[in-house]
Amino acid sequence: FVMDAARVGKANRGLQNGVQEASAFMKLDKKHLSQASSFLARSKSICILTGAGISAESGIKTFRDAGGLWENHPIEKVATLEGFVEDPRHVWEFYNARRKAADTATPNAAHIALARLELGRLRKTKKAGSSNGNGTGHRKAKPVSILTQNIDGLHQQAGSQNVVELHGSIWKVRCTGCHVVSRDFPVELPLLPRCGDCGSLLRPHVVWFGEHLEADVLETAEFVVQTCDLFLVIGTSAVVQPAASYPFLASRRGIPVIEINKEKTPVSAIATVSLMGLAGMILPKIIPD
Ligand code: BV8
Ligand code: ZN
């Protein structure tokens, strides 16, 4: 009876401050955390697919969570070519606001842990190979490859070197006339920015719905998916194609898939290990200093 009373008291205190509840959850999850750690330790070539959830703890809005970007901005208006042609000023307002948010954001513990993972591997590998800044232009398996759907540049800011930006970059613009890609503009662009060479309207260098991913980016991503021996999926709702298909393709090859997300996603059904929680809390636990 004494034991029971103690347990009830403890449970009540736990409910009151929430802290014990969280630690009880981590204890329950310890088995999964150590499974994930040992998969990481054994892997020689890791493919990491990230989505907006990994930047959430840096204060960047996600798309499909409550209060997310798509809630007040219909996709067809701000993330399709048709929307841009109809009202480029509105689309630039949307991207300028996101440029401002990304400019003041800093990498969080999750980005930093992934950068540390890569650095640790590169130190061990004598020949690290070179990168042209978008993870493309090479077809040699790397110890760590990040395929990100994010356009915020936070992985690179954290120090990750082998990053493939599947959906482009918020820091780049492309001319709708001569197609030249450029960067290094002020954070807030004029609402109808023009190309210095040909005078045509500039657009964000991002991939909108109905547009193809860049051929070189797609090829590199597919190569990584086909050659990795471990797949990590972090902070993505896994609904946007082709990115969403990658963990399934890896799984079909018999590759272990580790998912980190605060909620279940379509990937959870095929995940070898499913770690439910915040990326910034979980990644430092499985990628030690
Ligand atoms: C293409 C622009 C060929 C950049 C974006 C096959 C089947 C069905 C449909 C299609 C198909 N193939 C193509 C399509 C059409 C379409 C598509 O996929 N539609 C789906 C939605 C039905 N795909 C395309 O059009 C793609 N192009 O395939 O080309 C083609 C061309 C023409 C015709 C046929 C084929 C191009 C897609 C590019 C879309 N561009 N945006 C920008 O402005 O950012 S999409 C947008 O979604 C963003 O780019 C974003 O990166 C992407 C994915 O979203 P997530 O990152 O996953 O974010 P989300 O909010 O959804 O989820 C956040 C997650 O994080 C949640 O799960 C949450 O629980 C979790 N989370 C939150 N906080 C945390 C956390 N987890 C852990 N810790 C936390 N702290
Ligand atoms: Zn031009």
pLDDT tens profile 215-254 = 999 999 999 999 999 999 999 999 999 999 999 999 999 9
Q: How confident is the model at residue 26 (pLDDT cuts 50, 70, 90)?
A: low
Q: Which residues lie across from 194 on neighbouring strands?
A: 201
Q: What is the pLDDT of residues 114-145, one digit of tens each?
A: 999 999 988 887 554 545 456 565 578 899 99
Closest CA to 277 of 4, 83, 28, 71: 28
Q: Select from 240, 260, 276, 285 the residue to mutate for testing ligand 1; criterion: most ligand atoms less than 8 Å from CB.
A: 240
Smallest Cα–Cα separation from 102: which of 20, 17, 171, 202? Answer: 171
Measured in Å, residue 23 CA sits from the centre of ligand 1 at 33
Beta-bridge partners for 173: 182, 204
> What backbone phi and psi angles, to 5 degrees, belong to 23?
-70, -30
Gap between the terminal Cα atoms of the chain: 44
Please give the residue that has the higher pLDDT: either 132 or 289: 289
Residue nearest to ligand 1 atom 73, measured at CA: 53
209 CA distance to ligand 1 centroid (A)?
Answer: 8
CB of 62 sitting under 6 A from ligand 1: yes
Decide: 279 in ligand 1 pocket, CB within 6 A: yes
Choosing from 73, 111, 155, 167, the catalytic residue is 167
pLDDT of residue 22 exceeding 70? no
**Per-residue pLDDT tens over the stretch 34-75:** 999 999 999 999 999 999 999 999 999 999 999 999 999 999
- CA-CA-CA-CA torsion sign (193, 195, 198, 204): negative
Give the position of tokens 């770690």: 275
Residue 288: per-residue pLDDT: 85
Order of strands, edge to edge, in the sheet holding 168-175?
181-182, 168-175, 202-206
Looking from the CA of residue 63, the nearest atom of ligand 1 is 60
